[in-house]
Structure 1
Amino acid sequence: MSIMQETIEELVQFFRDYYPDEIGQLAMRFPRDQKSLYVDFDDVYRFDPDLADDLREQPERMLEAFEEALSHYDLPVDVDIGGAHVRIYNLPTTLDVEQVSRHSNIGTLLDIRGQVQKVSAVKPRIQTAVFECQRCSTRTEIPQTGEQLQEPHECSGCERQGPFVLAEKSSDWVDHQYARIQQPPERTKGGEGETIDVHLEDDLIREFEAGDRITLTGMLDIETPDRNQSRAFDTTVDAQAVIREESDYEDIDVKTYRDEITAIASGEEGDPYELLIDSINPEHKGDEDIKLAIALQMFGGWSRGGRVRGDSHILLLGDPGCGKSTFLQAVDDLAPRSTYASGKGATAAGITAAAVADDFGESEWGLEAGALVLADGGIACLDEIDKVPKKAVSSMHDALESQRVRVNKAGINATLNSRTALLAAGNPSEGRFDPYQPRAQQIDLGPTLMSRFDLMFMVSDSPDVDSDREVVEHMIRSRRAAAKQELGEELTEKEQRSIEPAIPKRILRAYIAYAKNEVTPYLPQGNSEARDYLQQEFLKLRLANEDDESSPVPVTFRQEEAIERLAEASARVRLDDEVTKGDVDRALGLVRKSMEQVGIDPETGEFDADVVETSQSKSQRTRRKRVLAIIEDKQGTTVEEVAEIIDETEKRVRNDVQSLKNRGQVYELDGEVRPT
Structure 2
Amino acid sequence: MARADDTELIDTFEEFYRSYYRNEIGELAQKYPNEQKSLYVDWDDLYRFDPNLADDFRNKPEQLKEYAEEALRLYDLPVDVSLGQAHVRARGLPTQTDIREIRSDHRGMLIAVQGIVRKATDVRPKITTAAFECQRCGTLSRIPQEGGDFQEPHECQGCERQGPFRINYDQSEFIDAQKLRVQESPEGLRGGETPQSVDINIEDDITGEVTAGDHVQVTGMLKLDQQGSEREKSPMFDFYMEGTTVEIEDEQFEEMDITDEDKKEIIELSNEPDIYEKMEASIAPSIYGYQKEKRAMIFQLFSGVTKHLPDGSRTRGDLHMLLIGDPGTGKSQMLQYVKEIAPRSVYTSGKGSSSAGLTAAAVRDDFGDGQQWTLEAGALVLADQGIAAVDELDKMRSEDQSAMHEALEQQSISVSKAGINATLKSRCSLLGAANPTYGRFDQYEPIGEQIDLDPPLISRFDLIFTVTDNPNEEKDAELAEHILTTNYAGELNTHREHMNNSDYTVEEVKNVTDEVSPEIDAELLRKYIAYAKRECYPTMTEEAKSVIQEFYVQLRAQGADEDAPVPVTARKLEALVRLAEASARVRLSDTVEKEDAERGTAIARYCLEEIGMDPETGEFDADVIETGTSKSQRDRIKNIKQLISSIEDEYDEGAPVDVIVERAEEEGIKTSKAEHEIEKLKQKGEVYEPRTDHLRTT
Distance 2:580 2:508 in 1: 37
Deviation at 1:494, TM superposition (A): 6.8
Deviations 1:255-300 (A, max 9, x none): 3311111111111xx5111011001111111111110001001111
Counterpart for residue 34 of structure 2:
32
Alignment of 1:115-194 (within 5 A): 115-189=116-190, 190-194=192-196
How big is each residue's C-alpha offset from its partner over 1:104-124, in whole Å with a ceiling of 9 and x where there is no partner? 111111011111122111111
Which of 529, 553, 559 is the aligned partner of 2:566? 553
1:329 to 328, 336, 343: 336
**TM-aligned CA distance change 1:213 to 1:499, over 3 Å:** farther
Question: Is contact 2:362–2:376 with CA below 8 Å preserved after alignment?
Answer: yes
Q: Does the alignment pair 1:113 with 2:114?
A: yes
Deviations 1:52-74 (CA, angstroms, capped at 9, x unpaired)? 12111111111111111111111
SS at match of 1:232: strand
Q: Residues of 2 paired with 1:413 and 1:73: CA distance?
A: 44
Q: How does 1:268-667 map to 2 (within 5 A)?
A: 270-305=273-308, 307-362=314-369, 364-486=372-494, 487=496, 489-491=506-508, 495-524=512-541, 528-544=542-558, 548-603=561-616, 607-635=620-648, 636-637=654-655, 639=657, 642-647=660-665, 652-667=673-688
- Count of paired positions: 669
Would the alpha carbon gap of residues 634 and 89 (structure 1) be closer, same or farther in structure 2, given more than 3 Å must change? same
Q: 1:231, 1:409 → 2: CA distance?
A: 39
- C-alpha deviation, 1:495, in angstroms: 3.3
Question: Is 2:265 the counterpart of 1:260?
Answer: yes
Measure how far apart 1:103 and its partner are.
1.0
Report how far residue 18 of structure 1 moved.
1.0
- CA RMSD across the alignment: 2.2
Instruction: Answer whether contact 1:290 1:457 (CA < 8 A) is retained.
Output: yes
Moved more, 382-391 or 567-576: 382-391
Residue identity opposite 2:678 in structure 1: V
Provide the C-alpha distance between the structure 1 equivalents of 2:574 and 2:696, rounded to a whole number of angstroms: 44
Partners of 2:383 and 2:11 in 1: CA distance: 47
Q: For the residues of structure 2 that align with 1:429 and 1:545, how far apart are their CA atoms?
A: 29
Give the Cα separation in 2 of the matches to 1:221 and 1:260.
Answer: 43
Q: What CA distance in whole angstroms lies between the structure 2 residues aligned with 1:600 and 1:472?
A: 32
Match of 1:673 in 2: 695
SS at match of 1:595: helix
When residues 347 and 662 of structure 1 are mapped into structure 2, their CA distance, relative to the original with a 3 A threshold, is same
Q: Could you tell me whether the CA contact under 8 Å between 1:146 and 1:224 is conserved in 2?
A: no
SS in structure 2 opposite 1:141? strand
Instruction: Tell which deviates more after alignment, 624-633 or 276-285.
Output: 624-633
Contact between 1:120 and 1:358, CA under 8 Å: does it hold in 2?
A: no
Question: 1:639/1:193 Cα in 2 relative to 1: closer, same or farther (>3 Å)?
Answer: farther
State how far apart, in whole Å, the 2-side matches of 1:153 and 1:114 are. Answer: 44
Q: Give the AA of the match of 2:696.
A: R
Contact 2:664 2:671 in 1 (8 A): no
* SS of equivalent to 1:124: strand
3-state SS of the aligned residue for 1:132? strand
CA contact (8 A) 2:226 2:235 kept: no
2:201 partner amino acid: H
Once residues 649 and 157 of structure 1 are traced to their aligned partners in structure 2, the CA distance between those partners, rounded to angstroms, is 102
SS of residue in 2 equivalent to 1:282? coil
- What's the secondary structure of 2:234's corresponding residue? coil
Q: Judging changes above 3 Å, is the alpha-carbon distance between structure 1 residues 228 and 667 closer, same or farther for their aligned structure 2 residues?
A: farther
User: Partners of 1:600 and 1:99 in 2: how far apart?
Assistant: 54
Deviation at 1:319? 2.1
Determine helix, strand or coil for the equivalent of 1:94: coil
Please tell me whether the aligned partners of residues 226 and 234 of structure 2 are also in contact (alpha carbons under 8 angstroms). Answer: no
Separation (CA, whole Å) in 1 of partners of 2:567 and 2:242:
58
- Equivalent residue of 2:285, what SS? coil
1:442 Cα deviation from its structure 2 partner? 2.2
Deviation at 1:80, TM superposition (A): 0.9
Report the secondary structure of 1:223's partner residue.
strand
Contact 1:282 1:501 in 2 (8 A): yes
Residues 451-504 of structure 1: per-residue CA shift (max 9 Å, x gap) = 111000111222222212211211111111122223254357773344321111
How far 1:640 sits from its partner (Å)?
5.2
Distance 2:508 2:27 in 1: 64
- 1:651, CA displacement in angstroms? 5.9
**TM-aligned CA deviation for residue 655 of structure 1:** 3.5
Pair 1:594–1:251, CA change in 2 (3 A): same
Moved more, 53-62 or 249-258: 249-258
Does the C-alpha gap of structure 1 residues 20 and 669 become closer, same or farther in structure 2, counting only changes over 3 Å?
farther
The code of the aligned residue for 1:490 comes to E
Greater shift after overlay, 368-377 or 633-642? Answer: 633-642
CA distance in structure 1 between the partners assigned to 2:387 and 2:23 by the alignment: 42
**Is 1:340–1:381's contact at 8 Å kept on the other side of the alignment?**
yes
When structure 1 is superposed on structure 2, of 585-594 and 652-661 the one drifting more is 652-661
Secondary structure of 1:230's counterpart equals: strand
Contact 2:122 2:208 in 1 (8 A): no
From the superposition, tell whether residues 8 and 559 of structure 1 become closer, same or farther in structure 2 (CA, over 3 Å): same
Q: Which moved more, 1:162-171 or 1:8-17?
A: 162-171
CA–CA separation in structure 1 for the residues paired with 2:513 and 2:352: 39
Q: TM-score by structure 1 length?
A: 0.94
Paired residue type of 1:284:
I
